[in-house]
Amino acid sequence: MTMSAWERPWCGSLRIEDVGREVELVGWVRRRRDLGGLVFADLRDRSGIVQLVFESEMLGEGEQLSQQDVLRVRGIVRPRAEGQANAELPTGEIELSVTAVELLSKAETPPFVIEDDTNASEELRLTHRPLDLRRPVMLHNLMLRHRVVAAIRRYFDEMEFVEVETPILTRSTPEGARDFLVPSRIHRGAFYALPQSPQLFKQLLQVAGIGRYVQIARCFRDEDLRADRQPEFTQIDVEASFVAEEDIYTLIEGLFRRVFPLVGIEPPERFPRLAYDEAMERFGSDRPDTRFGLELVELGPLCKGCGFGVLESAAAGGRVKGIVLPGGASLSRKQLDGLNEIVRPHGAAGALWVKRTAGDIVSPAKKALGEDGCLRFAEAAGASEGDLLLMVGGPEKVVLAALGALRLHLARVHDLIPEGRHDFLWVTDFPLLEWSEEDGRFYAMHHPFTSPRPEDVDRLESEPGAVRARAYDVVMDGVELGGGSIRIHDPAVQRRMFAALGIGGEEARARFGFLLEAFRFGVPPHGGIALGLDRMIMLMAGLDSIRDVIAFPKTTSASCLLTEAPSAVDPAQLAELGIGVIGKSEG
Ligand code: ASP
C-alpha cells in the first residue's frame, strides 16, 4: 500500500487522537538511538518531527540509518510508554510503531549540523543553501513568507486591485540607483535595463484605466549591499487612480492590520504621522524609531557667547544639538571615548559629554564653560543628577545624522527598547528635491514623478529646496517599510520638475518620452506606494538580516555562493553579443 501523497499526514501533525491509525509517513531522519533490538528515530519534515520505533531487523542485514537519510515508513500510531511523553513536542504524546520501512535515499554526513542552532558560518550555509534551508527555522521563514504573500494577495483582491505583471527586460527606470544591464543579441550594442521598480509601468496602467494595480514585483538595483539590502528584492507595488494621501494611508493601514496579526503583532487602527522636518529635529532620522525617548534637544542658542570657542563657532556656522542618557553619568571614560566612533562616520568631530553627578559636573568642557556653564547646558537639555549629556556641533546634516546614530546606538547598548513593543508611523511632508554638494545639483528625493504640494508648485524655479512633496514613507520600529507619493499628472508640471532636476526637454523625451506621450491623452490623477516585502517578513520573523527570509540570496559582495553567479561566460556567447571584456575585477 502506498498512500496518496495528498492524503499522507505530515510528520508533525500526529496527535494522541490519532492513536490506532495506520499511516504512512515520509521524511528525513533526524537522530537515531539503538536500544538492544529496538531502534528509535525522529523523522522530520517541514511540519515537525515524530518518533519512530521499529525492530532493527527491519532494516536488512548490516544496514544502519544515518542522519538525513530519506525514509518512507508505514506503521500504527501508539501512545508513548508511561513517563516517556515529551511535553515540548506537539507530537510528544505518541510515536509510530513501524511495520514497514523503505530507505528512499541515503545521506552522507552533512557539512554542518542541520538544526536551528547550527555551527555553520553564513558562508558555509549559503554554499550549501538547500541544507541550510532544511533547518526548521529556515523552512519556517519560507512558510511565513508564503502565508504573508497569500494574505496580501487576498487583501488586495478584496479591495478590487488587479495584479498585473510588468517587464523585467526594460529600459532604465527612475529610482536613482545603478542599473543592471542586459545586452541585446538582436540589437547589437543596445542594452535592456532590469527595472529598479515598475514605477513607470504602474503609472501607465493608470493611464490605461486599470484604476487599482498591485504587483508582488521583483526589483533590481546595483547598489552596495548591507544586511537589509539585496541586488534583487521584492516589493509590494501599488498604484491607484483618483486617490489622495489619505486613501493610501488607510489602504496600507488596513493591509498591515490584516497581515501583522499573523505573527501576533496588532498595528493600531490609524498610524501616527510625523512631518519630515520634525522627525529629523527630534530623532535625527527620516525613519525614526519612536519606541524609546532620547530625543534630540536644541542647544544652539546657549552656545552663543558661552565662552567655549568650539561650541560658539559650531553654533555660528551650523547647529549644536544634544541628547541625554538617563543614568549615563556612570559611563566610564573608555565607554565615552567609544561613542566618538559612532558619530565620526557621519562627519562629526566627536561627541562632547557632560556628566551630572551628585553635586558635581564632570566634562572636558568644564574648564572653558565653568561649572555653571556646564550646568546651564545640562539643565537646558533636561539632564538631572546621574544623567549624561552628549553634544554634537557642525553642519546641520552632520549633527542630525550623528545624533540620530548615537541615539540608536545608546538605545541598543543600554537596552532601552521595550520588549514586544512595535511602533508604526507615517513620515510625511518630505522635501521634493535634495541638494547634492558633490554634484552641485538637485536630485529628486523620491523620484522625478512625485508631485509637489500644490501650494509649493510656484516655488519650483525660485526656491526649489523649499518645495515640499506629496510623498510619504511608512516606518516600523525605525525601519523604512515603504514609500510612495501622489504623482504628477500635469505634463506642464512634469516638464518643470525635469527642468528643476536639470533634465532638458531632449533628455526627458529620450528617457521618458513614452510616459509624456501617454500623458497627452487623458491621464487620471494617481498615486501609490511600494513596500519592501523582504524587510517586512524580516521584521515579522523578528530577524535582522533579509538574507534569512530570501530562499537564495546574494552575499554582501553580490555573489551567489550556491551557483557561483556571477560567472565568466563562454567567449562565443560574448562574441554573439558583440561584447569584449576589458579588465576583470579581482576574485
Ligand atoms: N517606485 C517607488 C520605489 O520603488 C515607490 C513608489 O513611488 O511607489 O521606491
Q: Is 78 exposed, middle or buried (0-12, 13-18, 19+ CB in 10 A)?
A: middle
Options 3.30.365.10, 3.10.20.30, 2.40.50.140, 3.30.420.60; CATH for 11-105 is 2.40.50.140
User: Partners of 360 in the beta sheet?
Assistant: 357
Nearest atom of ligand 1 to the alpha carbon of 485: 7
Closest protein CA for atom 8 of ligand 1: 529
Tens-of-pLDDT digits for all 587 residues of the chain?
A: 578 999 999 999 999 999 999 999 999 999 999 888 899 999 999 999 999 999 988 887 777 899 999 999 999 999 999 899 999 999 999 999 999 999 999 999 999 999 999 989 999 999 999 999 999 999 999 999 999 999 999 999 999 999 999 999 999 877 888 999 999 999 999 999 999 999 999 999 999 999 999 999 999 999 887 767 899 999 999 999 999 999 999 999 999 999 999 999 999 999 999 999 999 999 999 999 999 999 999 999 999 988 899 999 999 999 999 999 999 999 999 999 999 999 999 999 999 999 999 888 999 999 999 999 999 999 999 999 999 999 999 999 999 999 999 999 999 999 999 999 999 999 999 999 999 888 889 999 999 999 999 999 999 999 999 999 999 999 999 999 999 999 999 999 999 999 999 988 899 898 889 999 999 999 999 999 999 999 999 999 999 899 999 999 999 889 999 999 999 999 999 999 999 998 877 65
User: Partners of 487 in the beta sheet?
Assistant: 450
Single-letter code of the amino acid located at 490: D
CB 395 within 8 A of CB 340: no
Does residue 458 sit in helix, strand or coil? Answer: helix
- The Cα 7–Cα 25 span in angstroms is 10
Residues of the chain within CATH 3.30.1360.30 domain(s) are: 292-417
* Ligand 1 pocket test, candidate residues 196, 197, 486, most atoms within 8 A of CB: 197
Kindly report the CATH number that applies to the domain delimited by 140-269+425-549.
Answer: 3.30.930.10
From 189, 69, 200, select the one nearest 578 (Cα to Cα): 189
How far away, in angstroms, is 461 Cα from ligand 1 center?
Answer: 25
Nearest atom of ligand 1 to the alpha carbon of 238: 8
R_g of the chain, CA atoms, integer Å: 30
How far away, in angstroms, is 545 Cα from ligand 1 center?
Answer: 22
- The Cα 162–Cα 160 span in angstroms is 7
How far away, in angstroms, is 430 Cα from ligand 1 center?
Answer: 14
- The Cα 191–Cα 193 span in angstroms is 6
Helices (H) and strands (E) in the chain, counts: 15, 22
Single-letter code of the amino acid located at 443: Y
Residues 6+ apart with CB under 8 A from 399: 284, 318, 319, 320, 321, 348, 392, 393
How far away, in angstroms, is 471 Cα from ligand 1 center?
Answer: 10
Enumerate residues lining ligand 1, CB below 6 A: 175, 197, 199, 483-485, 528-530
Residues of the chain within CATH 2.40.50.140 domain(s) are: 11-105
pTM over 0.85, yes/no: yes
From 38, 45, 44, 10, select the one nearest 24 (Cα to Cα): 10
In angstroms, how far is the first alpha carbon of the chain from the final one?
54
How far away, in angstroms, is 484 Cα from ligand 1 center?
Answer: 5
Q: What is the second-level CATH architecture of the domain 292-417?
A: 2-Layer Sandwich (3.30)
How far away, in angstroms, is 546 Cα from ligand 1 center?
Answer: 19
Determine phi and psi for 508, rounding to 5 degrees.
Answer: -60, -45
Task: Identify the residue whose cell numbers are 545639483.
Answer: 441
Nearest atom of ligand 1 to the alpha carbon of 199: 1
Cα distances from 213 to residues 236, 240, 464, 471, 515, in angstroms, run 10, 6, 32, 19, 17
* Ligand 1 pocket test, candidate residues 175, 215, 234, 432, most atoms within 8 A of CB: 175
